[in-house]
């Protein structure tokens, strides 16, 4: 039975090696912050490269905004590390070359019978991994814009930060 990945559901606590080969859990990586969780086909896909440029545009704001990004693919750690370095990403990449999480999540892109990759998808998560929004990126225009991600991060931050309203005197 496929995992429910619709808004309001809890995203499974993945355990996968990161780009350096160290096993990481999603709950550890998310800490107490909002998260943008992205699955992507692989470094070789021009649509993924274009979407990474969008995430990179957001990275400089996220580094001061107390929010996190995690990217997941079937690329093994050395390949993920090289792609990460090549695009200039400063967030964690998770590797699922055995496709264990891909299978459990039901996110295999069935139209690619060569690479058997993740279908492109984006989820914005609360710190308890509750899904705030889910975006199906099979068609490129299904992916969130920077403005949509900022809106999601604002909504989540407003919900989880007890001091969202600035303390004033």
Give the interface with another protein as residue ranges (CB under 8 A).
18, 20, 22, 24, 28-33, 59, 62-70, 81, 85, 88-92, 162
Tokens of 70: 């995690």
Tokens of 62: 């996220």
Nearer to another protein, 14 or 89 (CB): 89
- Beta carbon of residue 143, minimum distance to another protein (angstroms, whole number): 19
- Beta carbon of residue 114, minimum distance to another protein (angstroms, whole number): 30
Nearer to another protein, 9 or 20 (CB): 20
Nearer to another protein, 7 or 88 (CB): 88
Nearer to another protein, 29 or 74 (CB): 29
Contacts 24+ apart (CB under 8 A), 42-45: 42/73, 42/74, 42/75, 42/115, 42/117, 43/73, 43/75, 43/79, 43/80, 43/82, 43/83, 43/86, 45/117
- Beta carbon of residue 84, minimum distance to another protein (angstroms, whole number): 8
- Beta carbon of residue 109, minimum distance to another protein (angstroms, whole number): 26
Helix count and strand count (H, E) for the chain:
5, 7
Distance between the two ends of the chain, CA-based, in angstroms?
A: 54
């Amino acid at each position: 039975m496929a995992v429910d990945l619709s808004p309001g559901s809890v995203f499974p606590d993945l355990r996968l090696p990161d780009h350096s080969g160290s096993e990481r859990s999603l709950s550890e990586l998310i800490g107490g912050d909002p998260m943008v969780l992205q699955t992507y086909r692989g470094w070789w896909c021009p649509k993924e490269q274009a979407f990474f440029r969008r995430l990179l545009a957001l990275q400089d704001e996220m580094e001061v905004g107390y929010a996190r990004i995690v990217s997941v693919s079937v690329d093994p750690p050395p390949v993920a590390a090289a792609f990460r370095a090549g695009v200039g990403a400063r967030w964690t990449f998770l590797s699922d070359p055995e496709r264990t999480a891909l299978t459990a999540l039901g996110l295999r892109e069935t139209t690619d019978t060569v690479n058997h990759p993740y279908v492109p998808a984006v989820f914005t998560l609360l710190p308890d991994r509750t899904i705030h929004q889910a975006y199906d990126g099979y068609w490129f225009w299904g992916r969130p814009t920077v403005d949509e991600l900022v809106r999601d991060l604002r909504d989540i931050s407003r919900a989880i930060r007890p001091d969202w309203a600035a303390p004033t005197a």
